[in-house]
Structure 1
């Protein structure tokens, strides 16, 4: 294959950001990203056991520790250095990993030479691999370094997900305990002994049910999306910050895709950092002078009595807002893992048509809610949950430091000494934090270990199974000549209509389709092989999305369409996807008459085709609304889709569905006769109907394989059977779906 490719342009919605947009994103980031930082004073001092405050100097020592942590880690490392290593506007552990995959060739998914040409490294691309350095050659040579980077990326992702489970439970339970203490000050009887019993009961039993109720409400709000939640929560955070006037995690970097780095940096440096320093300083001062007061290390005790009820209400709201940052970061991380084949298929809803990267994942949302509730009910202790959360946060920070040091050397191409200094300076500080957190493994940190083992196993097994399936497909594909030259001798007949063949390979004929033809010798008059290829970039511009080429001679009417997308694009779930592919084929046919080399290339010369315009240059779409008796198969609102595997419960009442038909453009008489005839054949085939052929894989482990391989394949098979089905993800109507089962011996 010799694709005709000009440089790909990857664009991001923040590239042309104005000051108006910066201020808008800064305002929204208060409600999404910095809610966690602003809610941290609720539990930072509260997670320290009262017995550890041996003197007033202890409070000042803790404040010094908090101040330098915020300054070194949050301000210096993240705000000033790590935010600069964005992946075209995207942040997070997998954003750093995708940069390394692109610039150091550390990706583990196997590709043949043709697939590499199609997917990534075209001449003139802004993401073309740079000149080989000694470090890059050493990393590319040793496969163990590739596995190490994948491990770091998966480990950091698991820690971010763990943070998304633990931080909401910690912050909300902290605020709810303040609510319980506030109720305990109320006099319920004239007898002091009875009041003490009631007060004690309120402190012990009120926080957990209140926290659970708030968490349920919080997770039920997630489907509104980052844009709306940011506007709802931002005023709460501003009022809360002004009220307390007084420590960060991965959420600031992982949530970069939802906002611009300029807005995040401005908000942190100008508002969040100074306000939190004042808050912690004031709280340390209060503790040093009031160590005789009950619950002196909780923020609520330092609030004057006449403002305590206001504090309780604001703290409950701020804790819910603070939880939003880690939940949003979890959605972002999992969406990136999905695109890079490191997480089972789940439904991803893009909550904004204008701003890419703002996603909501229903299945993960409810799973996080259940885990948060289990932590809150199971531990019901701020100190235990705090020790677990601390381990998750600092472990994620250490992973970011390791990957960032590689980005400095391999992507920024700085001196190796600078990379090593970054790793040693920040890595040493964070390694000390990790070792301190590990001392509390018996106090609750074991929960994070269990959560990590489960999530890491699922991610690793899915990546391993995907990799082995792709290797099998590459090894067992058949040449295109088998279909074009030998199929007539096998008595294969052509039937009316269009056949879409979905496959992972971009050259040759997939084994499952040759298996299908051997047993059922017939295929459609127009055949389109469709491949989705995820690039290690956030976005692929619509004008560079489709690669179209021929399979075999022109008279066979067999085409290949490679759909390229970034880990923030959402192209599989659009309702007009079939229409876009057919129109792209039409554009290819019209463009091909000026590309004579494509007519003589044996595998078919591929041409870049962008998303067709509304008017269309080759095929003009005509929308028709028809009455359909039965369940609605194609819902029109992208953000109101049915849950995975379900069909709308509207019964068999007649519903209106949109069907797109095509016609030749008005200037068609001026086209070459062969082009016009081929376009008309494409239109006629569309009118005859469409069928979709997918391979259904059944993985079987080869005899004599070791236990680890068997366990990973078994886990992959279990996840594959219980996750979202590909036909649903591709919006394929069941009546037009043909699944071809094949046994993959791994």
Structure 2
């Protein structure tokens, strides 16, 4: 926790780390934003000044004010991101799970385009030297290599991210200044009048807004990486980042000013403004920045999925931890799904300008969802109602306009990210809904009424001993209750005699890194309950945690785990442990609504591809017994049966 606290301290190292981790997406946007704004339009003074004004005020209103100044306040013990935000406010209303799921899916879906568009835009700069260069194989190779190295962790490479991105932003700023000095009048583009004038008088205003929005697509990632850098470091580093971005956009504006009344064709203003002698260095640095932007996106996706798993919004999947560094995790299934998605994007769209047409639609949806959740957070923090209403009104309207602008992209490729997002949403919603349906059919009983029979069974030597220490995972939130199916498993399915019975309950908390436990001796020396309280970013290695708790109890003489077999007891041998996992299956005879049945059918299909309960909880499989129990057994009323003589 001390490391976590230090992240919020302002330091030069913290600012440098911020440059490397969180600005990849937003920092590489000059590669394609102005190219997208011009598109196939004739370059004009109104288009240049209006486009620059739109970019400046979008970065100011959307990124600076909404995210850097307001949304970063909504930290969950120092952590950010849409699921961390949801954890802060979910107790305010049940429906808040909807914007959280939509936002998370939209981020994952639109993120599939980030590596292809940034890497393609960088590599296409080589066409200035080699006009006939086939860029697609190069882009595919870089993307594939990037996903292959994920399994080894990015901590070593990550140490170089900060300095490289500092060089990148400085290069952009210097290039911009060189052009601004030649034509200082371009600074008048910062006047909001030109943005308003362009949007009112240009018939293609919505399409232009869709292109302008690309300059702020990384704002959501900025919030997601709050825990890696700390609020103060992000805010200070953003001053430098925004300054360099604006300088570069203004420089591109000066370049375009010199070629008015022409079509842009395949020229990219970002590379064309570089002097010839510097071009190869500029392309190399741009490629490195594009890879860093992609790495940040991939790491962010892993974090999103791991949070979704812990919040029961995604099937349990394998999560690896390649290094001890905080936030370093690797989700194999998501890694290869993202890889396949990125390859599909490259092969389908082929050029970065085609990807621009699809980029941004989903991210506007994610930003709208964040606006809803942040407004609830502000309400929770008792901000004045008029300020919350103003926040909702301003950003609801602004992001709705951007959404309308990006909606024009639907037929030009936006459908791809919407389709991916919809598939992801169906998975999250089915997993979440199925859990609620299952909970309706879980029957709890008062555990106290079974104390005597459990104690008698434990001492009944006519019953073969099942295990010395028998452990059940329980979903009962209160120590006074237990699932009836656990009682059935112990006493009736096959009476399971044990020296000590353990009930283990895992409570996932709304904060990220809590890790504590509570002990209750329900029957002294016979029945013990452990309640683990784990943050939604804590790995649920129940075997390891359980062993640690037992060691502490033995050390404090609260429990005796010595084997009761005479031959082993005289040598003080530790008794055996066995976990019993009850796997719920859907019985054939049940009364469910059509929608509930479809949801559960989908859930069990997903469950087939997910980790089993025992693997999901990190249990040692050599000590696990699996019992299948029906989710529900519904009795049909009015069954008439005649006995024949």
If the length of structure 1 is used for normalisation, what is the TM-score? 0.73
Inter-CA distance 576–76: structure 2 relative to 1 (3 Å threshold): same
Give the 3-state SS of the residue equivalent to 2:502 in structure 1.
Answer: strand
2:208 aligns with none
8 Å CA contact 1:480–1:509 kept in 2: the answer is no
1:582 aligns with 550
User: Shift in Å at residue 539 of structure 1?
Assistant: 1.7
Larger deviation, residues 500-509 vs 438-447: 500-509
Candidates 473, 479, 489, aligned match of 2:447: 479
Candidates 502, 506, 516, aligned match of 1:528: 502
Candidates 231, 234, 242, aligned match of 2:170: 242
1:166 aligns with 113
1:349 aligns with 2:303: no
1:300 aligns with 2:271: yes
Inter-CA distance 285–322: structure 2 relative to 1 (3 Å threshold): same
What is the rounded CA distance, in whole Å, between the counterparts of 1:167 and 1:437 in structure 2?
Answer: 16
2:49 aligns with 60
1:713 aligns with 2:641: no
User: Shift in Å at residue 276 of structure 1?
Assistant: 0.3
2:138 aligns with 210
Inter-CA distance 156–57: structure 2 relative to 1 (3 Å threshold): same
Residue deviations 1:111-158 (CA, integer Å, cap 9, x gap) = xxxxxxxxxxxxxxxxxxxxxxxxxxxxxxxxxxx22x1110000001
Give the 3-state SS of the residue equivalent to 1:695 in structure 2.
Answer: strand
Residue deviations 1:396-419 (CA, integer Å, cap 9, x gap) = 111111111111112x10111111
What is the rounded CA distance, in whole Å, between the counterparts of 2:597 and 2:11 in structure 1?
Answer: 51
1:179 aligns with 126
Candidates 337, 345, 351, aligned match of 1:367: 337
1:734 aligns with 2:605: no
Inter-CA distance 550–238: structure 2 relative to 1 (3 Å threshold): same
Inter-CA distance 409–350: structure 2 relative to 1 (3 Å threshold): same
8 Å CA contact 1:31–1:229 kept in 2: the answer is no
User: Shift in Å at residue 241 of structure 1?
Assistant: 1.6
Inter-CA distance 449–50: structure 2 relative to 1 (3 Å threshold): closer
1:220 aligns with 148
Candidates 159, 162, 166, aligned match of 1:231: 159
1:94 aligns with 2:62: no
Larger deviation, residues 58-67 vs 730-739: 730-739
Report the number of matched residues: 578
Inter-CA distance 702–317: structure 2 relative to 1 (3 Å threshold): farther
RMSD value, Cα: 2.6
Inter-CA distance 59–322: structure 2 relative to 1 (3 Å threshold): same
What is the rounded CA distance, in whole Å, between the counterparts of 2:42 and 2:594 in structure 1?
Answer: 51
User: Shift in Å at residue 261 of structure 1?
Assistant: 1.5
1:319 aligns with 290
User: Shift in Å at residue 304 of structure 1?
Assistant: 1.6
Inter-CA distance 358–266: structure 2 relative to 1 (3 Å threshold): farther
Inter-CA distance 483–717: structure 2 relative to 1 (3 Å threshold): farther
User: Shift in Å at residue 486 of structure 1?
Assistant: 6.7
What is the rounded CA distance, in whole Å, between the counterparts of 1:12 and 1:374 in structure 2?
Answer: 43
8 Å CA contact 1:89–1:256 kept in 2: the answer is yes
Residue deviations 1:310-365 (CA, integer Å, cap 9, x gap) = 1222221111112222222212222221111101111223455363x443222211
Task: Give the gaps of 5 or more residues in structure 1.
Answer: 1-10, 107-145, 185-198, 587-616, 620-674
Inter-CA distance 70–740: structure 2 relative to 1 (3 Å threshold): same
Residue deviations 1:702-723 (CA, integer Å, cap 9, x gap) = 7564433222111110111111
Residue deviations 1:489-513 (CA, integer Å, cap 9, x gap) = 8976655521111122243333332
1:499 aligns with 2:470: yes
Residue deviations 1:575-609 (CA, integer Å, cap 9, x gap) = 733421312433xxxxxxxxxxxxxxxxxxxxxxx
8 Å CA contact 1:33–1:324 kept in 2: the answer is no
User: Shift in Å at residue 451 of structure 1?
Assistant: 0.7
1:275-286 alignment runs, 5 A limit? 275-286=244-255
Give the 3-state SS of the residue equivalent to 2:314 in structure 1.
Answer: coil
1:743 aligns with 2:633: no
8 Å CA contact 1:351–1:359 kept in 2: the answer is yes
8 Å CA contact 2:28–2:289 kept in 1: the answer is yes
Candidates 419, 425, 449, aligned match of 2:418: 449
User: Shift in Å at residue 686 of structure 1?
Assistant: 7.1
8 Å CA contact 1:498–1:524 kept in 2: the answer is yes
Task: Give the gaps of 5 or more residues in structure 2.
Answer: 177-214, 634-645
Larger deviation, residues 526-535 vs 257-266: 257-266
User: Shift in Å at residue 212 of structure 1?
Assistant: 0.9
What is the rounded CA distance, in whole Å, between the counterparts of 1:539 and 1:225 in structure 2?
Answer: 21
1:41 aligns with 2:30: yes
What is the rounded CA distance, in whole Å, between the counterparts of 1:405 and 1:65 in structure 2?
Answer: 25
What is the rounded CA distance, in whole Å, between the counterparts of 2:75 and 2:2 in structure 1?
Answer: 12
Residue deviations 1:450-485 (CA, integer Å, cap 9, x gap) = 111110000011111222223323x24463422533
What is the rounded CA distance, in whole Å, between the counterparts of 1:454 and 1:354 in structure 2?
Answer: 32
User: Shift in Å at residue 100 of structure 1?
Assistant: 0.8
